[in-house]
């Protein structure tokens, strides 16, 4: 199965996954660097292959730029870099997971979408106390999936500041 077929299969699974039992939630998991992360399936709007983006001045390194998606200008955040893992060396195999946060959408640059996880809230472990609470705030919990730890991302904490900065940059571009 090539990358495009895999994305299509994942998108179909997301659409089907929105109808789930009330005691389980579904999450889209993906790889960024050597780590696995997941977000609530209800926040995922689209998954698309990597395309070059337009850089913006005065943005953090992990904000790769903006992308025009059917008339909407979306900021693209390099998830690996945002979480301290260095900039992603992009290839045609990388994907952008478009997520919704309030009224805005943001693209997350990831290595690949891995799976759709159906999980009971009781299976999600709390974020452990660490000396760097600021760093751990971007996680809402952790779950174990077949010998692998998956970090659940809190999109509001992860992307809140980026949305404000990108919105300001968009206003500058439009004016």
- Would you list the DSSP string of 23-59? TEEEEEEEEETTEEEEEEGGGEEEEEE----B--TT-
Q: How far is CA 121 from the centre of its chain?
A: 20
| 3-class SS of residue 114 | strand
Q: Could you tell me which of 129, 92, 97, 136 has the C-alpha nearest to residue 116?
A: 97
Predicted confidence (pLDDT) per residue in 82-139, tens digit: 998 999 999 999 999 999 988 889 999 999 999 999 888 888 888 887 756 555 688 9
Domains and CATH numbers, the chain: 3-174 (2.40.50.180)
What global pTM score does this model have? 0.79
**Residue 23's pLDDT is what?**
72
Higher pLDDT, 54 or 173: 54
- The whole-number average pLDDT for the span 29-49 is 94
Q: Is the pLDDT of residue 20 over 70?
A: no
């Amino acid at each position: 199965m090539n990358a495009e077929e895999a994305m299509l299969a994942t998108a179909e699974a997301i659409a089907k996954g929105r109808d789930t039992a009330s005691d389980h939630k579904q999450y889209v998991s993906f790889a960024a660097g050597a780590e696995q992360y997941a977000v609530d399936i209800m926040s995922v709007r689209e998954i698309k292959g990597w395309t070059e983006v337009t850089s913006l001045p005065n943005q953090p390194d992990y904000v790769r730029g903006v992308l025009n998606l059917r008339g909407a200008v979306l900021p693209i955040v390099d998830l690996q870099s945002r979480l301290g893992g260095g900039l992603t060396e992009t290839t045609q195999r990388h994907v952008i997971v478009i997520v919704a946060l309030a009224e805005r959408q943001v693209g997350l640059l990831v290595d690949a979408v891995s799976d759709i996880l159906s999980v009971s809230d009781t299976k999600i472990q709390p974020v452990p106390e660490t000396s760097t609470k600021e760093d751990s705030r971007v996680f809402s919990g952790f779950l174990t999936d077949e010998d692998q730890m998956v970090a659940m991302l809190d999109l509001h904490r992860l992307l809140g500041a980026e949305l404000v900065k990108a919105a300001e940059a968009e206003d500058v571009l439009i004016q």
